[in-house]
Structure 1
Amino acid sequence: MLTLYLPIAVLILLSTALSFLVILLGQLFGPRRPTTIKSLPYESGMVPIGPGTRRMPIRFYRVAVLFILFDIEVIFFLPWAVVFRRLGLFGIIEMFIFVVILVVGFVYAWKKGALEWE
């Protein structure tokens, strides 16, 4: 049974080893000529003005959290879609409850203004 996974394991090991080898060769043989300009952060070809750290508005974090929430939803939906016929009515009820909880959370975020950009 495990022999079926052998080609995948070999592929993962070889690609990981090759990635590390390329990084190592670049570190060993790559040119190193540090200058002041190379140490500056690059932004659109312009020299940065002011400090590089700023406070991010909270709306970006809210959008990121909502994205993660619905991304995790997809993670749970895909395996369920593969085996839902074997789960029968129990699986459908469980996923219905899961979707209802997500919809309630989405409506709550909507009513609280988490989706408003201004």
Structure 2
Amino acid sequence: MVSSEFAMILVMTLAGVVFTLPTLIIPSLFAPKRRNPIKLQTFEAGQPPTGESRIHLIMQYYSYLIMFVIFDVTVMFLFAWGLAFTNIGIQSLVSLLPFLAVLLCPMAYALHLAGRRENW
């Protein structure tokens, strides 16, 4: 017999498929089939496209982007850990420290990149 936990996972998966597939299929049935060259043009905030579409990406803020992503993930997990700290106790700190150690390496690399002058 199937356990109740597995049955709930199966029901939720089937519900996800049942509600997702119609949203993918129905628009393709009612969408216009003819291609319009005007609609295939690149859209640039209501203006006709001008200039070269491929430009050199400035890496000036790349290190700050890395720091933001790392900091965002860290704060998300620390916030959840802080809310549950009274219930789970000090033992959870043991599992949190390796997580912080893993995130410290890319943060140190991002700080190193931020200090380099070649990015500017």
The interval holding the TM-score normalised by the smaller chain is 0.5 to 0.7
The runs of 5 or more residues in structure 2 that have no matched partner are: none
Return the TM-score normalized by structure 2: 0.61
CA distance change for structure 1 residues 112 and 56 in 2, over 3 Å: closer, same or farther? same
**1:31 equivalent in structure 2:** 32
Q: For residues 22 and 92 of structure 1, what CA distance do their matches in structure 2 show? A: 41
CA RMSD, aligned part only? 4.0
Q: How does 1:1-118 map to 2 (within 5 A)?
A: 3=4, 10-78=11-79, 80-81=81-82, 82=84, 85-87=89-91, 91=94, 94=97, 98=101, 101=104, 105=108, 108-109=111-112, 112=115
Q: Residues 62 and 72 (structure 1 numbering): CA distance in 2 closer, same or farther, change over 3 Å? A: same
Specify every segment of 5 or more residues in structure 1 that has no aligned partner in the other structure, as ranges: none
Secondary structure in structure 2 of the residue aligned to 1:22: helix
If each structure's helix is expressed as a fraction of its own residues, which one has the higher value? 1
SS at match of 1:59: coil
Deviations along 1:74-106, one digit per CA (max 9) or x if unpaired, are 354255433551417x639937x74xx48x839
Secondary structure in structure 1 of the residue aligned to 2:68: helix
Check 1:53–1:12 CA distance in 2 against 1; reply closer, same or farther (3 A cut).
Answer: farther
Q: 1:110 to 1:22 in 2, by over 3 A?
A: closer
Alpha-carbon distance between aligned partners in 1 of 2:33 and 2:12, rounded to the nearest angstrom? 33
Question: What number of residue pairs does the alignment pair up?
Answer: 112
Deviations for 1:13-67, whole angstroms, at most 9, x for unmatched residues?
A: 4234322221112112321231111111212100110122212110242232112
Could you tell me how far 1:11 is from its partner in structure 2?
A: 4.1
Greater length-normalized contact order (CA 8 Å, ≥ 6 residues apart): 2
TM-score normalised according to structure 1 size: 0.61
Counting aligned pairs with the same residue, the percent is 18
- Tell me the distance in 2 between the aligned counterparts of 1:35 and 1:72: 43
